[in-house]
Amino acid sequence: MGDEEQEGVFLGIDLGGTQLKAARFSADGTRVAMENAASNAGGDAEEIFGALYSAASTLIGGSRLRGIGVGVAGLLDPGSGRILNSPNIPALSGFALRSRVREAFGDTIPVQMMNDANAAALGEYFAGAGAGSSSMFLLTLGTGIGGGFVVDGNLWTGAAGVGAEVGHMCIRADGPLCHCGARGCLEACVSGWALMRDAGQIAKRHPESAIAELSPRTPLTLAELASAGDRQARALWENAGAMLGTGIANLMNLLNPDRIVLVGGLGGAGDLLFEPARRAWESQAFKEARTFTSVKPGVLGKWAGVRGAIQSFLKK
Ligand SMILES: [Zn+2]
């Protein structure tokens, strides 16, 4: 505690559509305390900020705060410090996050904000499965699919800051409609919501099937059903895995990063998802590309984003 009093602490926050995760870090980037809460995503912007403020205040205690990093599910404007659009937390669209954080924690507090997938990518790159690599592409496999690309320690975000949106890379031009309005995006083929859509269609067509009777019907219970041998559930994962593998093969051929790191809840399906994925990328990626790109699971779990959100403070 003596060190924290002298050197101060950083606070990392990961504000997702379901969960708010926050952690206190010592000056050298070691995570020393965590808080987990519901993100109040159904509430208004002030209710959501209230959850953030409460978790943050608990963690800061009496320590000297040196910077706050926030990863948010959505599209941000780093210039104005506003959240432009957040599909999973609609109340935050247009919210002036940076100025609200400064109002609550102090005018002079350095505030770093970034997209949540980019934050997770920085976290895994510097303190997780990407450590020691020069280039790493992170895929978040959850309700939606996100991506973050780190090259030589820097996020590669593109001309307009919206690069690495791998969830909306087209996998099948004639594929299912995506939330973004296009067809056949990776997210429309593989994500948690895509699996639920496909399972729902099976349940409708086959009311006597095990999938129709599954309650609650979630990616996790669908994985359990598939592991128990249910043919229709296995086929769902087989299809999702093959599409994921095509996405990974595209990344290998296009970018050939040192590592592709997979994080997020769908990974809980394990080989149900990853075996068909591996078969697809092994048959679709150039041999040189797949040989020199290793595919690994993340190691920081749900704490990757909070770690990445404070990374820029540690470089100084
Ligand atoms: Zn899309």
Ligand 1 centroid to residue 12 C-alpha, Å: 29
- 282 and 191 share a domain? yes
pTM over 0.85: yes
Q: Is the pLDDT at 93 greater than 90, yes or no? A: yes
- pLDDT at residue number 5: 65
Ligand 1 centroid to residue 75 C-alpha, Å: 14
As a whole number, mean pLDDT of residues 208-235 equals 97
Q: Are 134 and 259 in contact (CB under 8 A)?
A: no
Ligand 1 centroid to residue 195 C-alpha, Å: 15
Distance CA 68, CA 202 (A): 46
Buried b (16+ CB within 10 A) or exposed e, 250-279: bbbbebbbebbbbbbbbbebeebbbebbbe
Q: Are 65 and 8 in contact (CB under 8 A)?
A: yes
Ligand 1 centroid to residue 85 C-alpha, Å: 15
By C-alpha distance, which of 96, 75, 81, 19 is closest to 52? 19
- pLDDT at residue number 160: 81
- 36 and 90 share a domain? yes
- 28 and 68 share a domain? yes
Ligand 1 centroid to residue 167 C-alpha, Å: 6
pLDDT, tens digit, 9 for 90 and up, residues 272-311: 999 999 999 999 999 999 999 999 999 999 999 999 999 9
Higher-scoring residue by pLDDT: 153, 85: 153
By C-alpha distance, which of 241, 262, 267, 242 is closest to 304? 262
- 105 and 51 share a domain? yes
Would residue 99 count as lying in a domain?
Answer: yes
- 108 and 143 share a domain? no
Would residue 50 count as lying in a domain?
Answer: yes
- 72 and 141 share a domain? no
Would residue 126 count as lying in a domain?
Answer: no
Pairing of strands 65-72, 9-15: parallel
Q: How many domains does the chain have?
A: 2
C-alpha angle 219-224-230 in degrees, rounded to nearest 5: 105
Element spanning 71, H or E: strand 65-72
- pLDDT at residue number 14: 95
Confidence bin at 117 (pLDDT 50/70/90)? very high
- 146 and 269 share a domain? yes
Q: Is the pLDDT at 316 greater than 70, yes or no? A: no
- 61 and 186 share a domain? no
Ligand 1 centroid to residue 180 C-alpha, Å: 4
pLDDT, tens digit, 9 for 90 and up, residues 167-213: 999 999 999 999 889 999 999 999 999 999 999 999 999 999 999 99
- 145 and 261 share a domain? yes
Would residue 129 count as lying in a domain?
Answer: no
- pLDDT at residue number 3: 64
Q: Put the strands of the sheet holding 31-38 in their side by side order.
A: 31-38, 19-26, 9-15, 65-72, 111-115
Distance CA 257, CA 300 (A): 20
Pairing of strands 259-263, 75-77: unpaired
Confidence bin at 85 (pLDDT 50/70/90)? confident
Chain centroid, CA 257 distance in Å: 18
- pLDDT at residue number 88: 77
CATH value at residue 233: 3.30.420.40
Higher-scoring residue by pLDDT: 273, 7: 273
Ligand 1 centroid to residue 191 C-alpha, Å: 11
Ligand 1 centroid to residue 15 C-alpha, Å: 22
Q: Are 298 and 261 in contact (CB under 8 A)?
A: yes
Ligand 1 centroid to residue 176 C-alpha, Å: 10
Ligand 1 centroid to residue 289 C-alpha, Å: 26
- 224 and 101 share a domain? no
Query: Which region holds residue 68: left if phi is over 0, alpha if psi is between -120 and 50, else beta?
Result: beta
- 264 and 143 share a domain? yes
Q: Is the pLDDT at 236 greater than 60, yes or no? A: yes
pLDDT, tens digit, 9 for 90 and up, residues 28-62: 999 999 999 988 888 899 999 999 999 999 999 99
- 94 and 171 share a domain? no
Distance CA 297, CA 293 (A): 13
Q: Is the pLDDT at 2 greater than 60, yes or no? A: no
- pLDDT at residue number 87: 77
* Structural domain range at position 165: 134-299
Cα dihedral 220, 222, 224, 226 sign: negative
Q: Is the pLDDT at 248 greater than 70, yes or no? A: yes
